[in-house]
Structures are given as C-alpha cells and as structure tokens.
Amino acid sequence: MIKKEWILIIIFLGWIFRNFERIVNRCKKEYILSKMNQKGDKIYIGDNCHFTPKTISLGSHIYIGANAVFQSVHGFIEIGNHVMFGPGCHIHGGNHDFHEIGKYIDESGNKNQGDDGKVIIEDDCWIGSNSIILKGVRIGKGSVIGAGSIVTKDIPPYTIYINKLTPIYKNRFNFDEINKHESILLKKNNEN
C-alpha cells in the first residue's frame, strides 16, 4: 500500500506537470498566432490544433475549438470576424496536382492554386464540430454549418447547411430579419 506522503507527492507533481503543460500550450498558441499571415484581436485557439500559419488570415473575435486542423500549403484561408469553430474542424485549402503522368503521388505538383485553392469564411459564421471545409469554398456571412458536415461548394449568406446523406439548406433568417440583424450589428459596430 502506498503511504499517504507518497500520494501527496504524486498529486503535487501532477499539479506541477499540468500547469507546466498549460504554460507550454499557451506559448505554442502565441507563437502560431505570431506567424499568421494576418490576424485581428481576441482570438482563442483550443489545444492540439495544427495550422499552416503563413497562409491563414484571421479576423477578430475568433474561437477555434480543440483539435482543429487548418492547412493550406498551396492556397489561402481567410476567416472574417466573429467566427466560431467547434472542436475537430478541418479546413484544407489548395491541393496537389495528381494528374501529372509519370510522377508518383508524393511527387505531384505543389504549386500555388490562387483563388481555386482559397477558402473564405465570411463574418458571423458558426462552423459545427468535426466539419470539413475543402478548397475553393466561400461560406457566406451569417451562415451556420452543421456538425460533421463536409463543405465542397459555396454556401450562400445566412444559410444553415447540414450535410448528412442529402445536403440540407435552410435560411437562418428571412429577408426582413436579415435587414434587421445587419442594422443592429452595424449600430453595435459603430458604438465600438
């Protein structure tokens, strides 16, 4: 049986290691943010996230849940303001040119694909957990992407998109509600 003193030492060491891990994670996140192509303020990044920061532009008031992967070596990722990502979200901009005859897949072209490889997520969007967003997609202002969705085509503004067996598109607001929503947000932004 373990003596009481040893249990206290183990608990204390656990506390030290856990706090050290938090400090290291905070330093990693700040380093990643410092390498972003462009960034606003009030950005939260969850634990265990992976980014290609030089190809990513972030607006302000961004929340990125744990285990996110935002990578785009051959394209760009632009994220607007007031955007939330649940845990496990993936964004993959760009792609390899795997149509090159006489080359193995790992030798395929790594050229910048410009707008074809760009992913744009406009302001005021919510991307549900474990969603996957692929190259060349624009998610319109005010849209909501349901958890687990795979987005391969543009999403119009103020759309709720749920991709299960058959994609479902719903309007978040009607036309009058969109005008009211945007005028309230405009007034709110002008006050700040």
* Domains identified in the chain and CATH numbers: 35-191 (2.160.10.10)
Per-residue pLDDT at 112 exceeds 60: no
What's the mean pLDDT in 43-61? 94
* Catalytic residue selected from 50, 96, 99, 181: 96
Per-residue pLDDT at 62 exceeds 60: yes
Q: Tell how strand 38-39 and strand 56-58 pair up.
A: parallel
Q: Tell how strand 144-145 and strand 167-171 pair up.
A: unpaired
For residue range 74-111, what is the model confidence (pLDDT) as tens digits? 789 999 999 999 999 999 987 776 666 666 777 666 56
Please state whether the predicted TM-score (pTM) of the whole model is above 0.85: no
pLDDT at 127: 98
Q: How far apart are CA 150 and CA 43, in angstroms?
A: 24
- The share of the chain scoring above pLDDT 70, in percent, equals 88
pLDDT at 114: 58
Per-residue pLDDT at 28 exceeds 70: yes
- Note if 96 is an active site residue: yes
Per-residue pLDDT at 53 exceeds 70: yes
pLDDT at 130: 97
Q: Cβ of 168: how many Cβ atoms within 10 Å? A: 13
Task: Give SS3 for 164.
Answer: coil
